[in-house]
């Protein structure tokens, strides 16, 4: 029956094509620009405005309208329906060609169904389906769930970023989904913010490289059945909110925007990203969704962005009802479109009000045509006019295939950071025969992270399952603490403390809770911001009581944001930061614990001692700690950016520069000798930092400018060479001119951003 349906729909398209030989837009051999010109000439203003509007899927509407009230929708950014309208209205508008896109369509059946409605429309313009495929197409059921973006960043493996994006694109197209709202290339500089885990961390250079490879992986050649539309987001500044909460105001100087926040977006544009999402927040008093300077002056005129701009969840409406810079919705739509917005996510009044604005002459038809042209271009490039449907029988040959599963496991192995180890790791199974395991994340699918649908048991390896798999002869005694850190049972904490005394070794798996199907119970993730970064609930008490047993205790953290685990760092012999390692995270963690995998990851974000240290970033300005805190709190982090341990040791020596003086347009090579001084093979992430010692405007104390993943056998040495080119030395001078200033530069190479871990040399740039 399914194949008959597809054949019938293909027949509809074929018959329509043969009906009118002049329909150039239906001719796949015609140049895309001519197809767009032809189609635009046939469209009514209502159809054009409809292409600029996106709706949530009908199944999403049905589910939420049955369980939520209209008042609950006002502050909810995960669920949606349209009070006064039902799914039949949305279906009718789709058949009338007045819907350009859908999001929150979670199954192939629904995607094919909605596409079939679009094929009934007068012009048969296909739908483009968007989804938050943040670490794999994990938000939709039955797809490979890779480690989260912060895990990936800690691997410093840009090739892995490309591979995961490429595989994600294949799984998306196998579900008839063509547009991922990723990569998130915001530079995360506040751990209170719940979305740190879906970013690539705090460093502009690392974020840029990971974002570029993700864009390339998603889009491929941007013309095939395995390519999807990438969306660089959120433009801009939401990752440094003034109070740590998602969408709160942001005040950032133009200098900081251009030096810290703009580079990943500019690089994403240059890498070919064909969509961009604006940020929830207002920037320096102007809501980003109506900021003409951002959307038009910078993005389009300066950076030559060719794709289309999409709003975030109902944020154009928020120009009116939250930011209050528009007196009504119609005015909000006007301001956003005239600033450069192309597509609206999501809502029912857009079509009506925007059509009125055009007919009233306030918005020129030419302005609407600009946006529609950009949207249609993407649909033509992705082949949606020729292939609007996907065969369900072929879908699961791609999704969750062995190759993708193996990538998920390998990525987890590379993204787990060993923070502390006083000789207890790797574990000796013959020494620790009885191990007590406890904590909220010990045996829970929360290891999948935010933006994940619940996984099937056979597709997820929890940490407890991983331990039993890797060390089958060990007796693992599990004490369940539930999944909710805010409602832990004191009796279970006491039971774990008792069992700890009977064990040879104890493992506590603590952290945050991130799963979306329990939206109101989460402590981490989108719209789940916190006023501190301590462990929630009784988790610290649990750790301290188990430590009091006198038996070796290991802490494993599952979380999206940095956590200030001060007490554990001072007292426990071993700590692992696993973030949200995905579907095979339990296996990867167990392999690291038992030494089958040598950890290599480095922190992509600084971990502060406490919230009182914020802002705590490695690339701060020189005066940041001119005066120390008077309450004896340190001015250094708990763990610095770039830090991570291994089961082997490395020696850095003989840092040399190829020249002591270069011209302003010249370059210099930095070479360092790296030796594996331990007894096992390992991979070290060698990091290059640079400081402009004296400059016309203040510069950070150090900035990451390059890195290399180097694998060495025991006793093996290798010379690692970095090219220091002008782009690694340039900055915006006191007149905001991009240049390389003459003077002394400090080159630092080592294992982390901490001064004690770096070798240093200097060279001069002559005028």
Residue-wise pLDDT tens digits, 687-707? 999 999 999 999 999 999 999
CB 648, CB 676: distance < 8 Å: yes
What is the pLDDT, as a whole number, of residue 729? 98
Backbone angles phi, psi at 510, to 5 degrees: -115, -170
Which uninterrupted H or E stretch holds 545? Answer: helix 539-547
Average pLDDT for 231-246 = 97
Q: CA 28 → CA 15, 323, 371, 373, 742, distances in Å? A: 15, 45, 22, 17, 55
Q: What DSSP letter does each residue of 116-175 carry, written as one string?
A: HHHTTSSS-PPPEEEE--SSSSTTSSSS--PPPHHHHHHHT-HHHHHHHHHHHHHHHHTT
Band the pLDDT of 510: cuts 50, 70, 90. Answer: very high
The count of other CB atoms within 10 Å of the CB of residue 743 is: 15
> CA 143, CA 455: separation in Å to the nearest integer?
9
In angstroms, the first-to-last Cα distance of the chain is 75
Task: Check pLDDT > 60 for residue 479.
Answer: yes
Average pLDDT for 7-28 = 60
The pLDDT tens digits for 39-55 are 999 999 999 999 999 99
Q: Which segments of 156-300 does DSSP mark as H helices, in order? A: 158-173, 204-219, 254-256, 262-270, 292
Band the pLDDT of 429: cuts 50, 70, 90. Answer: very high
Q: How many CA atoms lie within 13 A of 655 on its CB side?
A: 20
203, 312, 315, 342: which one is catalytic?
A: 312
Task: Check pLDDT > 90 for residue 4.
Answer: no
Q: Evaluate the CA torsion angle 459, 464, 469, 470 in order and state its sign.
A: positive
Q: CA 399 → CA 141, 387, 580, distances in Å? A: 10, 19, 21
Non-local CB neighbours of 423 within 8 Å, separated by 6+ positions: 573
Number of H helices, E strands in the chain: 24, 26
What is the pLDDT, as a whole number, of residue 22? 84
> CA 767, CA 764: separation in Å to the nearest integer?
9
Q: What DSSP letter does each residue of 721-743 carry, written as one string?
A: EEEE-GGGT-EE-TTS-EEPPSE
Task: Check pLDDT > 60 for residue 12.
Answer: no
Q: Is 475 helix (H, G, I), strand (E, B) or coil?
A: strand
The pLDDT tens digits for 514-544 are 999 999 999 999 999 999 999 999 999 999 9
Q: 523-526: long-range contacts at Cβ-Cβ below 8 A with a sequence spacing of 24 or more?
A: 523/485, 523/486, 524/194, 524/197, 524/450, 524/559, 524/560, 524/561, 525/194, 525/195, 525/197, 525/450, 525/451, 525/560, 526/77, 526/78, 526/194, 526/195, 526/198, 526/246, 526/450, 526/451
What is the pLDDT, as a whole number, of residue 77? 66
Task: Check pLDDT > 70 for residue 314.
Answer: yes
Q: Is 298 helix (H, G, I), strand (E, B) or coil?
A: helix
Q: Is 632 helix (H, G, I), strand (E, B) or coil?
A: coil
Q: Evaluate the CA torsion angle 283, 286, 288, 293 in order and state its sign.
A: negative
116-137 in b/e burial notation, b at 16+ Cβ within 10 A? bbbbebeebbbbbbbbbbbbbb
Q: What DSSP letter does each residue of 65-122 carry, written as one string?
A: HTT--HHHHTT-SS----TT--HHHHHHHHHTT---EEE---SHHHHHHHHHHHTTSS
What is the pLDDT, as a whole number, of residue 86? 87
Per-residue tokens: 614? 């914020």
CATH architecture for residues 44-395: Alpha-Beta Barrel (3.20)
Quickly tell me which residue has 């993204």 as its tokens: 415
* 489 catalytic per annotation: no
Q: Is 551 helix (H, G, I), strand (E, B) or coil?
A: coil
Locate the domains of the chain by residue range: 44-395, 416-625, 650-765
Task: Check pLDDT > 90 for residue 560.
Answer: yes
CB 56, CB 347: distance < 8 Å: no
> CA 99, CA 364: separation in Å to the nearest integer?
21
Task: Check pLDDT > 60 for residue 138.
Answer: yes
CATH superfamily, with its number, for domain 416-625: Glycoside hydrolase family 3 C-terminal domain (3.40.50.1700)
Q: 735-744: long-range contacts at Cβ-Cβ below 8 A with a sequence spacing of 24 or more?
A: 735/696, 736/254, 736/255, 736/258, 739/664, 740/664, 740/665, 740/765, 741/664, 741/692, 741/695, 741/696, 741/765, 742/664, 742/766, 742/767, 743/692, 743/693, 743/694, 743/695, 744/693, 744/694
Percent of the chain scoring above 90 in pLDDT:
92
- The residue among 531, 458, 459, 541 whose CA lies nearest residue 500 is 541
CB 156, CB 707: distance < 8 Å: yes
CB 703, CB 695: distance < 8 Å: no
CB 668, CB 729: distance < 8 Å: no
Band the pLDDT of 74: cuts 50, 70, 90. Answer: low
Length of the chain: 767
State the angle between helix axes of 365-381 and 350-359 in degrees (0 to 180), rounded to the nearest 10.
Answer: 130
State the Cα angle at 448 between 446 and 451, rounded to 5°: 100
> CA 177, CA 347: separation in Å to the nearest integer?
20
- The residue among 190, 416, 134, 178 whose CA lies nearest residue 275 is 178
Task: Check pLDDT > 60 for residue 562.
Answer: yes
> CA 258, CA 266: separation in Å to the nearest integer?
10
Q: 704 pairs with which residues across the strands? A: 689
Q: CA 179 → CA 130, 134, 196, 225, 598, distances in Å? A: 4, 11, 22, 12, 36
Average pLDDT for 714-727 = 98
What is the pLDDT, as a whole number, of residue 80? 77
What is the pLDDT, as a whole number, of residue 5? 42
**Are β-strands 682-692 and 703-712 bridged in parallel, bridged antiparallel, or unpaired?**
antiparallel
Which CATH number describes the domain made up of 650-765?
2.60.40.10
Average pLDDT for 30-42 = 98
Q: How many CA atoms lie within 13 A of 609 on its CB side?
A: 10
Say which range, 28-37, 79-88, 240-249, 685-694, has the weakest mean pLDDT: 79-88
Average pLDDT for 149-177 = 98
Non-local CB neighbours of 187 within 8 Å, separated by 6+ positions: 199, 201, 202, 203, 204, 207, 239, 240, 260, 261, 264
Per-residue tokens: 688? 């290059």
Non-local CB neighbours of 7 within 8 Å, separated by 6+ positions: none
> CA 626, CA 624: separation in Å to the nearest integer?
6
Per-residue tokens: 615? 């802002």
């Amino acid at each position: 029956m399914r194949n008959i349906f597809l054949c019938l729909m293909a027949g509809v398209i074929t018959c329509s094509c043969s009906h009118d030989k002049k329909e150039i837009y239906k001719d796949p051999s015609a140049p895309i620009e001519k197809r767009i010109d032809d189609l635009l000439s046939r469209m009514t203003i209502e159809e054009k405005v409809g292409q600029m509007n996106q709706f949530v899927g009908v199944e999403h509407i049905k589910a939420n309208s049955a369980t939520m009230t209209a008042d609950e929708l006002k502050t909810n950014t995960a669920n949606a329906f349209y009070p006064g309208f039902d799914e039949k209205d949305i279906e009718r508008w789709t058949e009338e060609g007045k819907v350009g896109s859908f999001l929150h369509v979670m199954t192939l059946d629904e995607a094919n169904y909605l596409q079939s409605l679009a094929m009934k429309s007068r012009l048969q313009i296909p739908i483009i389906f968007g989804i938050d495929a943040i670490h794999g197409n994990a938000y939709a059921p039955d797809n490979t769930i890779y480690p989260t973006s912060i895990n990936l960043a800690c691997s410093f493996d840009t090739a892995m970023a490309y591979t995961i994006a490429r595989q994600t694109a294949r799984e998306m197209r196998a579900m008839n989904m063509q547009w991922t709202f990723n990569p998130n290339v915001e530079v995360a500089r506040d751990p209170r913010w719940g979305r740190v885990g879906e970013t690539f961390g705090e460093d502009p250079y690392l974020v840029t490289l990971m974002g570029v490879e993700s864009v390339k992986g998603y889009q491929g050649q941007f013309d095939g059945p395995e390519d999807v539309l990438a969306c660089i987001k959120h433009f801009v500044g939401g990752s440094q909110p003034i109070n740590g909460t998602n969408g709160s105001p942001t005040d950032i100087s133009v200098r900081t925007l251009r030096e810290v926040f703009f580079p990943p977006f500019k690089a994403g544009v240059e890498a070919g990203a064909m969509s961009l999402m604006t940020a929830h927040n207002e920037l320096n008093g102007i809501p980003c969704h109506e900021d003409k300077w951002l959307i038009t002056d910078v993005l389009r005129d300066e950076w030559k962005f060719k794709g289309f701009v999409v709003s975030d969840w109902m944020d154009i409406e928020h120009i009116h009802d939250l930011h209050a810079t528009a007196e009504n919705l119609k005015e909000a739509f006007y301001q956003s479109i005239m600033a450069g917005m192309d597509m609206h996510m999501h809502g029912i009044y857009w079509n009506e009000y925007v059509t009125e604005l055009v007919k009233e002459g306030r918005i020129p038809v030419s302005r609407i045509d600009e946006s529609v042209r950009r949207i249609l271009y993407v649909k033509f490039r992705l082949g949606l006019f020729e292939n609007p449907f996907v065969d369900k029988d072929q879908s699961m040959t791609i999704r969750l295939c062995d190759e993708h599963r193996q990538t998920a496991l390998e990525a987890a192995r590379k993204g787990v950071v060993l923070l502390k180890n006083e000789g207890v790791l790797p574990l000796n199974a013959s020494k620790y025969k009885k191990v007590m395991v406890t904590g909220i994340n010990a045996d829970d699918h929360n290891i999948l992270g935010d933006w994940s649908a619940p996984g099937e048991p056979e597709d997820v390896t929890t940490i407890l399952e991983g331990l039993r798999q890797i060390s089958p002869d060990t007796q693992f005694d599990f004490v369940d603490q539930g999944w909710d850190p805010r409602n832990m049972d004191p009796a279970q904490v006491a039971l774990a403390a008792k069992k700890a005394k009977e064990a040879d070794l104890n493992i506590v798996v603590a952290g945050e809770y991130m799963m979306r199907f329990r939206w109101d119970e989460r402590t981490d993730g989108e719209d789940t911001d916190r006023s501190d970064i301590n462990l929630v609930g009784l988790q610290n008490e649990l750790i301290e009581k188990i430590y009091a047993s006198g038996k070796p205790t290991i802490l494993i953290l599952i979380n999206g944001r940095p956590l200030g685990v001060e007490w554990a760092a001072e007292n426990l012999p071993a700590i692992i930061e696993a973030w949200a390692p995905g579907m095979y995270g339990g296996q990867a963690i167990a392999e690291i614990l038992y030494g089958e995998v040598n950890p290599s990851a480095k922190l992509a974000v600084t971990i502060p001692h406490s919230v009182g240290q914020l802002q705590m970033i490695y690339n701060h300005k020189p005066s940041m700690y001119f005066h120390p805190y008077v309450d004896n709190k340190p001015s250094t982090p708990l763990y610095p950016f770039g830090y991570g341990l291994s089961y082997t040791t490395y020696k850095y020596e003989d840092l040399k520069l190829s020249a002591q003086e270069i011209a302003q347009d010249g370059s210099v090579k930095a070479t360092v000798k790296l030796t594996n001084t331990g007894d096992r093979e390992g991979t070290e992430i060698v990091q290059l930092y640079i400081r402009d010692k004296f400059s016309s405007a203040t510069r950070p104390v150090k900035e990451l400018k390059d890195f290399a993943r180097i694998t060495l056998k025991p006793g093996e040495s290798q010379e690692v060479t970095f090219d220091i080119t002008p782009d690694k030395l340039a900055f915006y001078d006191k007149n905001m001119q991009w240049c390389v200033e003459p003077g002394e530069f400090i080159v630092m190479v080592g294992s982390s951003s901490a001064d004690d871990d770096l070798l240093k040399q200097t060279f001069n740039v002559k005028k």
